[in-house]
Chains A and B, each alone.
Chain A
């Protein structure tokens, strides 16, 4: 089944404890992206990647890191999480960053709470 897999689905952690949210897609998509969703703010892009070893900042990159060593994986790293990073996170992928009718496949989301 074609899908984007995020793990974990739920995570409660303490301030300052490094964590990684994994994202993997099995569709050979070039484009991958991380979003955070907060009430009243919609989806805001954190980082995106147009292909292996190509990443760039989105609208709200502060406090996050990403890597794209392989096409299928795009982990999101919080080196020192803070309570303002409590949010619902989505990973998404698309066949290509250019072209027609390439919608996004989203992962199931990761609900992160930083206390």
Chain B
């Protein structure tokens, strides 16, 4: 079974500063993918970044980077130079890729508030 844990229900950060949103996972799959999604107040789910378990480098997408530590089973999202528009809920998710569970598992989310 897969499990995603996001231990921070809410985070505050000042505009232009960096923030790290924590995500730990548990899985018996050898190959899996990790995702982060953003949900602004309007409600839609926006895909941010993906990390494969066998990717040697941490994924980056613009101001988003994924700090992947496989031995620790963590996949933290780092947002650099926070903007007011980054205020949203953020969900970490994973799915198995090689047998086991293909069904994605989501964390409970972290609410990020960026203040001026």
A residues sitting closer than 8 Å to B (CB atoms) are: 31, 33, 35, 40-45, 48, 50, 58, 88, 90, 92, 97-106, 108-109, 111
Contacts and interface: CB of A to CB of B under 8 A. Distances in A.
Size bracket, chain B contacts:
20 to 34
Interface of B: 9, 33, 35, 37, 43-47, 50, 52, 91, 93, 97-98, 102-104, 106-109
B103 A45 contact: yes
B35 A48 contact: no
B72 to A, nearest CB: 22
The 7 A-B pairs at the shortest CB distance, nearest first, are namely: A106-B45, A42-B108, A43-B106, A97-B102, A109-B43, A103-B47, A108-B44
A101 B91 contact: no
Contact of B97 (A33, A35, A100, A103): A100
A41 B98 CA distance: 27
A100 B33 CA distance: 7
Contact of B102 (A42, A92, A98, A106): A98
